[in-house]
Amino acid sequence: MGGTQSLALPQVKGPHPVGCADVMVGHTRQGLFLRLFYPCLPRAGAERPLWIPRYEYCGGLADFALLSRRWCAPLLSVAIGSCRVPVSWKGPFKPCSSGYPLIIFSHGLGAFRTLYSSVCSELASWGFVVAALEHRDHSASVTYFCPAEAGREEWIPYQRVPQGQKEFYFRNKQDSVDLTKVAAMGHSFGGVTAVLALVKEPGFSCAVALDAWMFPLENSLYPEVPKPVLFINTEKFQTPESVAKMKRLSSRNSQTKIITILGSVHQSQTDFAFLTGKLINRIFSARGTLDPYKGLDITSRAALAFLQRHLHLEEDFDQWVNLLEGIGDSVVPEAPFCRSNL
């Protein structure tokens, strides 16, 4: 597309139209905030939600990128503020007599609930309800809650590791997710959160970790991970040390799989990969050499095959089971190419 700006997020490929809605439970920072993606009934002229839901998130992204909020936030607002997610805002829920399986999605450091709309809506189109959390532990670029008595939002900024404090212990404390539903999924810091959820909550059957940042997971926890994990890595992010941690898990559970998508970078598994333009690419390093639509196909199909196997679904997602062994175009088993340092 040259230097032109594209604001198109991908259309879903599954058999179900997708709706989404925001859910906020509780009036304190201990409450729950998430965007829910779900199969919905088709509705003509349905409103499509903004991808960046509030201007304040542009400021949060600027802060996370260590750029001046004064000039970067307005530029981001102009560049991506009009982008909409191709799903039905508050579309009518599509009834399902057997009930949809549930995926809890955890974002990476400096992200928030809408930045993985492409993969979340794609999975919803195949018959899942996906709850994309927005964390209030200072790991989001910014978030907010609505105190009952104040009548306005209270915003929570991203928090960097305080000077003089070791990052391992700081980030490990932020990994406090206690979820009770079927499958956990996440990207980067959210990927290791999904793995940790298997330790903390026995209700999870499995986890899908997108380019997991394994650093915060304590060594003592590896023997405690009881369920299978699918690690879907990008080519340019992982280190030998991180992959060694993944292999420790796969050596304990033969159903844990590790694959790498060639031509991808860390941000390839976020929506930024679909937003071309020099500003976005310079700030977020979002473009690998692989076509992002192809990358999304590999990620979602591998996840679907894995989820069918471990959630015991009666679907035909096993048509993509070869991906779990790293067999296919632009995918390889394990992680043959690792950077030596972060």
Per DSSP (E only), the strands in 97-216 are 102-106, 129-133, 142-145, 154-157, 183-187, 206-210
Distances (CA, A) of 270 to 48, 142, 150, 267: 19, 17, 34, 5
Flag whether 81 is in a domain. Answer: no
Flag whether 194 is in a domain. Answer: yes
Q: Total structural domains in the chain? A: 1
Choice between 208 and 115, residue whose per-residue pLDDT is larger: 208
For 76-131, the pLDDT digits (tens) are: 888 888 889 999 999 998 988 778 889 999 987 767 788 899 999 999 999 999 99
Flag whether 46 is in a domain. Answer: no
- Catalytic residue (choose from 16, 107, 187, 266): 266
Q: Which domain holds residue 250?
A: 95-147+167-333
Flag whether 137 is in a domain. Answer: yes
Flag whether 244 is in a domain. Answer: yes
Is 188 labeled as catalytic in the residue annotation?
A: yes
Q: How far apart are CA 142 and CA 110, in angstroms?
A: 8
The two tokens of residue 320 are 């993509």
Q: What is the pLDDT of residue 98?
A: 78
Is 220 labeled as catalytic in the residue annotation?
A: no
- Catalytic residue (choose from 211, 242, 268, 297): 211
- Catalytic residue (choose from 121, 188, 205, 242): 188
Q: What is the pLDDT of residue 180?
A: 34
- The CATH number of whichever domain residue 211 belongs to comes to 3.40.50.1820
The two tokens of residue 58 are 């542009």
Note whether 234 and 264 are within 8 A (CB): yes
The model's pTM? 0.84
**Residue 100 Rama label (left phi>0; alpha psi -120 to 50; beta):** beta
Flag whether 140 is in a domain. Answer: yes
Helix (H, G, I), strand (E, B) or coil at 174: helix
